[in-house]
């Protein structure tokens, strides 16, 4: 990794450096970066406007893990949610899971 960090106020041409701290891992990233290159977290705007990528590390289709990554919550909690809504809400959880499976793209190749 090349060292791109510069102290605040010492940007090129006297301008403020076009960098900011990632809110998740606190590494310096480009101010207009959509995704942190250190922790791979999507940053820009409302999370609902971002792509929800399935995780390649999930148990079934990576839906729960992908959602967990997106919303910074526990994947176990999401799996519990899907199981409970499947059992007690006429299969809603299962339908939702399969729907998300289809609409959530695979993560981009790194
Ligand atoms: Zn980060």
- The pLDDT tens digits along the chain (110 residues) read 555 555 555 555 555 668 888 888 999 998 888 888 899 888 765 555 567 788 888 888 888 888 888 888 898 998 899 899 999 999 999 999 899 888 888 776 65
| CA 26 to ligand 1 center in whole angstroms | 6
- Same structural domain, 57 and 25: no
- 110 domain-assigned: no
Question: Does one domain contain both 40 and 6?
Answer: yes
Both 21 and 63 in one domain: the answer is: no
Q: Report the separation in Å between the CA atom of 43 and the middle of ligand 1, taken as the mean of its atom positions.
A: 9
Q: What is the dihedral of CA 3, 7, 12, 17, to 10 degrees?
A: 90
- On whether residue 87 sits in a domain, the answer given is yes
99: helix, strand or coil: helix
- Same domain, yes or no: 24 and 65: no
Residues with a beta carbon under 5 angstroms from ion ligand 1: 22, 24-25, 36, 38-39
Q: What is the pLDDT of residue 109?
A: 61
Inside any domain, residue 108: no
How many CB atoms lie under 10 A from the CB of residue 35? 15
Give the pLDDT of residue 89: 92
The residue range of the domain holding 77 is 51-103
Q: Can you spell out the DSSP letters for 9-77?
A: T--GGGPPPSEEE-TTT--EEETT-SB-TTT--B-SS-GGGS--PPPTT-SSSSHHHHHHHHHT--HHH
For residue 99, being part of any structural domain is answered with yes
């Amino acid at each position: 990794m090349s060292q791109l960090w510069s102290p605040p106020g010492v940007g090129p041409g006297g301008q403020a450096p076009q960098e900011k701290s990632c809110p998740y891992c606190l590494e310096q990233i480009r101010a207009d970066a959509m995704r942190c290159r250190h922790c791979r977290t999507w940053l820009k705007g409302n999370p609902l406007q971002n792509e929800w990528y399935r995780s390649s590390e999930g148990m079934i289709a990576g839906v729960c893990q992908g959602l967990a990554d997106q919303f910074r919550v526990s994947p176990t909690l999401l799996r519990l949610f899907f199981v409970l809504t499947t059992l007690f809400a006429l299969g809603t959880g299962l339908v939702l899971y399969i729907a998300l499976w289809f609409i959530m793209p695979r993560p981009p190749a790194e």
